[in-house]
Structures are given as structure tokens and as C-alpha cells.
Amino acid sequence: MANSYDDEDLKLAMALSLQQSPVPKPCKAVVDLTSDNAGEADDEDESLKKAIALSMQDMVRSSNTLTQQAAKSATSSASNPSAGTSFPMDRKAMEAERLARLKERERKRRRTPSPDRPMKLQSKARAPAPVRDSTRLQPHSESALQYPRGAIKRTFATKFPRTDDVTIDELLQASTVNIAVISSFQWDAEWLGRKLSHTKVKQHWIMNARDAETQARWRKDLTGCGIPNLRINFPPMNAAVGNAHSKYMLLVSDRKLRIVVSTANMEPVYWGEVENSWQPGVLENSVFLIDLPRRADGLVGSVHELTPFGKELVHFLEVQGLDAQIVKGVLKFDFSETSQLAFVHSIGTTSDTDAHPTGLPGLARAIQDLQLDRVKSIEFDYTASSLGAVDETFLQRICSAAQGLSYSATSKTTNLGQNFRIYYPTEETIKSSIGGPDCAGVISLRKAHYSSSTFPVKCLRDYVSTRKGMISHNKLLFARGRQVDGKLFAWVYVGSANISESAWGAQKVLKSGKLGKLTMRNWECGVVVPVPSERLEGLQLAEGEAPPMSVFEGTIEVPFQYPGEPYKGRTPWLQNS
């Protein structure tokens, strides 16, 4: 499969629809994350081969030796999207780079002014470079937490005005980080290695590999390449589990823990970066982040003392098989400011549990914990980059969970056509986007699913970004309404879960009307962020009217035009399978 993409084909496939120049990877890569049956795994693997081949070729472009290794790996491990990750294994080149770094450090050391030199000369030698926008600088000192109560940001996009967004460099704060735990579905290891130094930052990468053979090969390759301070971890998988799709970071520095949950993979295109000086960004994503201080007593806390957010985060790390020292390190930080937030996960290999419900039952528990249940009326606006075999029963399950309820056939149902909007791009919107169809491989809806008589076409709205021409990789669920006592509420979920049973869990409706056993195919995670009550107070609404989407201002910059245009005969962007 990898041989079908030679260099010339890649250049053509990655051309902009309106500008015949290369665009960032992973354009032309079709990734389907919504296969809802274990029997469909082979089809899903085939759809990933292109993504793997492209990623392998891109990441090793600087070395002919590595390119050959990548092509071989892409052919032999197409069932594993993390096989698209490449480590720099050219020992001769690595040694040359190491010597060059040593030489550069020695040169800088010699240029550093001596403490005995006159202050005037020292000041001149250390004069900082001009700053174009000081408001965007990350603090070198961590005397104050930047996001102590959490925030949701859009990802930066080259050539677009900066609004409430964040760059990958601003997010990582590489100069202050000591330890980084990073989970992603797709990787550009070379790019990330330039962002976070392996000599300065201890890194743990949570990667996607389904079978033991592939995992063993990656561990062997990692040992052979000799990259310092890097360990890789693979969440538990079995034949029924499709993907480790969660996207999160734990960034530890001297005074704080930065927790990041995003919709973006660890490749430059997802973070709005490009490879030249003229090209605009192609894909947009969203990021939740919060900075937690170290505990005042300096001790390792107890899980039992944590907020529900902290408990579910720690549980997720434990079941993913992370080193116990990572969990111990997390417990050194103060989670008190997360009491108004909820960490929601989908745990592959795990069915329903009482202590730590996952998938949609986990969402329901989160809504209860945040006291956002007891709902009288509710409106939903959900945008995702992939739609699975969606039907009305599945959407009603989402509606029930979002009200803190367990679904049953006798549950109060939501008027889906009126109150549930799914934002997904039409074919027309993709064709007119900056990247065009060749950059829409990460946007997925199978033709067979859309053609089904049970697919809820009436819920679809065209996703049109407020940054004209951007293709969305967001997964955002907006909910707003009234509780039974008349109190207004609004909250947003941001995370990795698309609109599919693979992401949220499959449950059959039994003859009794109740749901059967929960089965999970993906590892996912996300955060529920409520709109502050003061933002809702004073709204002048008609009786029974839900808060408008504008109520989210200050909590999240809604990235799409709403309420969105119904399809009206137009077709969605489809993958022909």
C-alpha cells in the first residue's frame, strides 16, 4: 500500500485546491475511527494504510536510510496507526548532531559574560530580541499560574488573526517543563522532538498499537535508536478494541502541573503550523488546559482526597498502564480548582462499572457530579470530524447521558430534528476549503452509513468555520437549557470522542427496554466545562427558552457558524466505503 505513494504522487495529492503548492501532512490520509463492530476492524485497517504510509514518508524525509525503513514498516504494520511514528535511527547522523550541539553549547558558554564583567557590558551582551506581541509571551517564571481555573483555546492557525487561540509552543512551555506525558493517535516524532528536547525533558508517550508483536517491535526500535529520556506505553488492547485515540498531556515543571486535553494529534498540521512562509493553516482543533500548583504541604496526596475530576484522571492513567511513578507524581499537585470540571473517559477493554463508569455512563455520572442534571429542556450542538453508524437510538443515548440519565426505551426522548444539531461539512464546503479534498482524509463519514435508512439526516448542519476555509478536526458538544426548577445551565465537552459507538460505547436495547452490557472499542478522554452561573444570570429569555449559543462567550470561542445551514439536498463529505 505504501508503494502507491511515491514522492511525485505525494506532491500532487497534497496540493491546495486553489494554490498548486504542497500542504501540511497528513493530507490525503483517510482515517476512519468510527467502525462500530469488531468485524469491521479489517476494513478500518485498510483505511489507515494511506495515513501510515504518508506519515512514515514524511517523518523520515531527511534520511534515505530511514525512508527505506519507514516504507518497510508501513507495509508490515498497517493495522497500527502509531506505526506511522518514526524515530531517528541513523546513529552516524545522531552522533554528528550530538557533537554539533556540544560545540554550540561550548560556543554559547564562551559568549556568556562573566559575573566579574562591568554591568554595562553584561546588559549589552544580554539584550533581548525585539518582541512583536508581548501579550502572547509565556512567562519564564512560574510565580503565577497562567490558567489556574482552566480554559478552552482554539489551536493557532498560520496566516489567520490571533484571537483566543494557543500555539503548540505556548502550550508546551518547553523551557520550564521537566516531565511530559503525551498521548496521541498519530505522531510526527521528529517534529515533537524539536519542540521538547529529549536531553532536557523526560518524556512518556502513550501510543496506539493493537497487537503485542507491533508493540514489541517499537520497543526494540526505541532501544536501538538510543533516544534519551523517552519511554513509550501502549494502553491494553484486545481483538475487540480498535484504537487508543485519547489526546492529552501532563506537563510537569518545578511549580505546576499543566493538564491538557485536546482534539489534536501530535503532528504540525493539527496545530496550524506549515512548512513555508506563505501558506495558511489547514486544520483547526480545540484545547482544554489547566495549571495546578504543587500541594502546599509538599506531600503525595491520597486519591480519596481528590475531586471527581482528579479521581477519574488518575483512574484513567492507571488503567492505561502508566508507570506508578507518574500517578504518584500527579498526586503531588492540588486539584481543588477542578471541582467545577469533569474528566470523562472511554476505556477500551472495560465494560460498565459502578465505581468508574466510562463512555456515555461516565458522561452521565459527570453531569450528576456537576449538578447539571434534573433537566426540563435542553439543546445540543455537536461537531465532530468523524460520524459512525449513527441512528436515532444512539443519539437518544447521548441525550440521556447529557442529562445525567441512563437510557431506556421508556426514557423521555428529545426531539432530535429540532433540538439536536450535528455540525459536519458538506462536500461543497470541503471542496472550497483552503486544503481542499486532499486535506480532508481525517474527516470521515462512510457512504454506507449515510445511505442507511436509519441515519438521522435531519440533524445534519454544514460545518462552516469562523476562520474561512479551515477544515475542522474538532470534537465539541455544546449543551444548554433549563433545569426542572427553572435554573439555566450551559456546558461544553471538549475531547477526542467523535459521534460514534466506537467512541462512546455500544449497548443493545434489551426486550425489557433497558440497555445491555457496555462494550468499548476506543480509548478516549475529554473534559466537561460548565458556563459560570454569573454568565447565565440576568439573561432576558422567554418562558421555556434555552440560553443562546452566545452564552459560551468567555468560556469558549465557538469555532463554527451557528445554528448552521441544513443540508437541503447537499451531500456530506463522504468516504466511499
Q: Give the pLDDT band (50/70/90) at residue 21.
A: very low
pLDDT tens readout for residues 324-349: 999 999 999 999 999 999 999 999 87
Residue 86: pLDDT over 80: no
Q: Give the pLDDT band (50/70/90) at residue 81.
A: very low
Contact yes or no for 302/169 (Cβ under 8 A): no
Please give the Cα distance from 391 to 416 (Å, whole number): 11
Kindly give, in sequence order, each residue whose CB lies less than 8 Å from that of residue 294, ignoring residues fewer than 6 positions away.
Answer: 255, 256, 257, 332, 333, 334
Kindly give, in sequence order, each residue whose CB lies less than 8 Å from that of residue 451, ignoring residues fewer than 6 positions away.
Answer: none
Provide, rounded to the nearest whole percent, the portion of the chain with pLDDT above 70.
74
Contact yes or no for 287/473 (Cβ under 8 A): no
Residue 129: pLDDT over 90: no
| Residue-level pLDDT at 471 | 98
pTM of the model: 0.79
| DSSP category for residue 333 | B
Candidates 361, 372, 346; CA nearest to 480 is 372
Classify domain 151-552 by CATH architecture. Answer: 2-Layer Sandwich (3.30)
Q: Is 120 annotated as a binding residue?
A: no
Higher pLDDT, 119 or 59: 59
Which single residue is written with the C-alpha cell 495558511? Answer: 280
The mean pLDDT of 59-83, rounded to a whole number, is: 36
Q: Give the pLDDT band (50/70/90) at residue 35.
A: low
Exposed / middle / buried, residue 423 (Cβ in 10 Å: 0-12, 13-18, 19+): buried
- Of the given ranges (100-109, 126-135, 542-551), which has the lowest mean pLDDT? 126-135
Residue 498: pLDDT over 80: yes
Helices (H), 453-559: 501-504, 533-536
Q: Is 200 annotated as a binding residue?
A: no
Q: Per-domain residue ranges for the chain?
A: 151-552
Please give the Cα distance from 87 to 307 (Å, whole number): 38
CA angle at 159 for the pair 153 and 160, rounded to the nearest 5°: 40
Q: What amino acid positions are annotated as catalytic residues? A: 245, 473
| Residue-level pLDDT at 209 | 82
| Residue-level pLDDT at 576 | 79
Please give the Cα distance from 98 to 329 (Å, whole number): 30
**What three-state secondary structure class fits 492?**
strand
Kindly give, in sequence order, each residue whose CB lies less than 8 Å from that of residue 85, ignoring residues fewer than 6 positions away.
Answer: 55, 59, 186, 187, 188, 189, 207, 218
Please give the Cα distance from 260 to 182 (Å, whole number): 9
CA angle at 40 for the pair 38 and 43, rounded to the nearest 5°: 140
